[in-house]
Amino acid sequence: MTTATTVKTEYEAIIGLETHCQLSTNTKIFSNSSTAFGSEPNTNIDPVCMGLPGVLPVLNEKVLEYAVKAGLALNCQIAKYSKFDRKQYFYPDLPKNYQISQYDLPIAEHGWLEIELVDAEGNPIRKRIGITRLHMEEDAGKLVHAGSDRLSGSSYSLVDYNRAGIPLVEIVSEPDLRSGVEAAEYAEELRRIVRYLGVSDGNMEQGSLRCDVNISVRPVGRKEFGTKVEIKNMNSFSAIQRAIDYEIERQIAAIEAGDRIIQETRLWQEGAQCTSSMRVKEGSSDYRYFPEPDLAPIEVSNEQLEQWRSELPELPAQKRHHYESELGLSPYDARVLTEDRSIAEYFETAIASGANAKAAANWITQDIAAHLNKQKLTITQIGLTPTNLADIITRIETGKISNAQAKQKLPDLLSGISPEKAFAGLELITDPSVLEPIIDEVIAANSKELEKYRNGNTNLKGFFVGQVLKKTDKRADPKLTNELVEKKLNA
């Protein structure tokens, strides 16, 4: 959960995000070429995505399913009737010189998602961000600038068309965001949702999730928006926040200096930590949209819509509320556990297997998470099953083993060794009649320490407890041992 921030009190930032999300289908949106990332350049291509004469696109049904599910998860109204359009786009990485997209009749509209922040006093804030529309479209290729030129930095460009025809959904927010923090949290929540749905991996480093920011600044109290500026080239959530914060300050400074803000596209320069002008922003009329004549309109039946709705999982926000209100977890624990669907499912399986919710949360968010981070693994790749984690927690709570013993054996447990085998012969000694003779032996063997204890150095109790644990190979119940040692030392 992120702390909310504000701009100068006399100004207000108006922010909206356009997010391109690559769908995790095996083939492209209008052809059967592979969508695999990292292939050799220009190997995942075909006549359709290359725009060769005489070829016809055919919509990948999985793309429609994923788009509708994303729209439902974002509380959108799903269109009973929608269509594709041609968007004229004259770039070297777009072979047809137009992009197949959706213009006036998108597949989904009028939705929202909820973001969670905390104010300066640590109080939780929930804010609903509107979703204007979600539509399907194809991606363009990729330009690779190479060589060396004194002025431009490159002397030639290479084109990789592997990405041409990759299926995308573009998700456009309402201008409801007011700070870089809110925008970054919105983008993160959006990624959580598409990952939970399984419709996208959301990897920003591979270009699967790309956010463009539209931002303007106006004096507080004015109804009219200021001139909108678009920012591109942000490859992380922190970059989104920093780019917005910089642009807010830049626009405020320009307004106060009497300069005119122009509608343009700017790039975020990560090295310089600033935005720079790229081009004057095109309007929708510049793209000369018209209906795509080679693709039939899309009609989603009520039966198909309800089928896809029934397949939606519980989403991150719902899980967070459930974990906090019903399981009594802190907002921090709830957020960490719901960050990834596989972690949430692991946690819930452990709970269903009898684990205490708070204890399971502690093990998963601390010890197990540390192992995952160190080994660069996901929770599905470890040998410790959620059922075995519940077994370990039950053993600790019933006094069969100590928490220290469980942590000591954690590497073995994570490798897949069962609790029965890992803790064989390590059950805690909880019988006072077994522990008392051992304690008597320890006290008798350390008369000098006993004298110091009885002369006022009570911290030495820990020494005697440690000696008992050592003689029992840490099998002595720590709580009971503390009680018996103190009783005998004070006798």
Q: Are strands 264-269 and 11-22 parallel, antiparallel or unpaired?
A: unpaired
pLDDT tens digits, 27-58: 999 999 999 999 999 999 999 999 999 999 99
Place of tokens 């507080």: 220
Per-residue confidence (pLDDT) for residue 287, from 0 to 100: 84
- Confidence class of residue 282 from pLDDT cuts 50, 70 and 90? low
Give 328's contacts (C-beta < 8 A, 6+ positions apart). 357, 358
| CA atoms of 116 and 331, how far apart (whole Å) | 10
Of all residues in the chain, the percent with pLDDT exceeding 90 is 74
Q: What are phi and psi of 454, to 5 degrees?
A: -75, -10
More reliable by pLDDT, 109 or 431:
109
127: helix, strand or coil? strand
The helix or strand, by DSSP H or E, that contains position 347, with its residue range, turns out to be helix 341-352
Cross-strand partners of 177: 15
pLDDT tens digits, 374-388: 999 999 999 999 999
The CA–CA distances, whole Å, from 239 to 2, 183, 204, 270, 317 equal: 15, 11, 11, 8, 24
What DSSP string describes 366-406?
A: IIIHHHHHHHT--GGGSS--HHHHHHHHHHHHTTSS-HHHH
Structure token digits, residue 486:
């103190």
Among 281-290, 405-414, 473-482, the range of highest mean pLDDT: 405-414
Q: What is the dihedral of CA 143, 148, 150, 155, to 10 degrees?
A: -50
| pTM for this predicted structure | 0.86
277: helix, strand or coil? strand
| CA atoms of 278 and 276, how far apart (whole Å) | 6
pLDDT tens digits, 98-109: 999 999 999 999
Per-residue confidence (pLDDT) for residue 145, from 0 to 100: 84
Per-residue confidence (pLDDT) for residue 155, from 0 to 100: 84
Per-residue confidence (pLDDT) for residue 132, from 0 to 100: 98
Instruction: List the alpha helices (DSSP H) in 198-339.
Output: 237-256, 302-310, 316-325, 331-338
Rg, the chain, Cα only = 30
Closest C-alpha to 229, from 260, 261, 182, 189: 261
Closest C-alpha to 183, from 353, 414, 15: 15
Q: What is the mean pLDDT of residues 292-319?
A: 96
CATH architecture of 432-489: Orthogonal Bundle (1.10)
Where are the chain's structural domains? Answer: 2-304, 314-422, 432-489
Give 344's contacts (C-beta < 8 A, 6+ positions apart). 316, 319, 337, 338
Per-residue confidence (pLDDT) for residue 69, from 0 to 100: 98
- Confidence class of residue 400 from pLDDT cuts 50, 70 and 90? confident
pLDDT tens digits, 184-195: 999 999 999 999
| CA atoms of 461 and 482, how far apart (whole Å) | 8
Place of tokens 């870089």: 180
pLDDT tens digits, 63-102: 999 999 999 999 999 999 999 999 998 888 888 999 999 9
Q: 1-15, 117-131, 232-246: which has the minimum mean pLDDT?
A: 1-15
Per-residue confidence (pLDDT) for residue 474, from 0 to 100: 80
Q: What single letter denotes the amino acid at residue 457?
A: N
| CA atoms of 71 and 80, how far apart (whole Å) | 13
What DSSP string describes 407-476?
A: HHTHHHHHTT--HHHHTTT---B--HHHHHHHHHHHHHT-HHHHHHHHTT-GGGHHHHHHHHHHHTTT-B
Q: What is the mean pLDDT of residues 154-160?
A: 88
Give 239's contacts (C-beta < 8 A, 6+ positions apart). 268, 270
Cross-strand partners of 215: 15, 229
Closest C-alpha to 246, from 221, 276, 222: 276
Structure token digits, residue 123:
């109080």
Instruction: List the alpha helices (DSSP H) in 174-301.
Output: 180-197, 237-256
Per-residue confidence (pLDDT) for residue 326, from 0 to 100: 96
Predicted confidence (pLDDT) at residue 151 exceeds the cutoff of 80: no
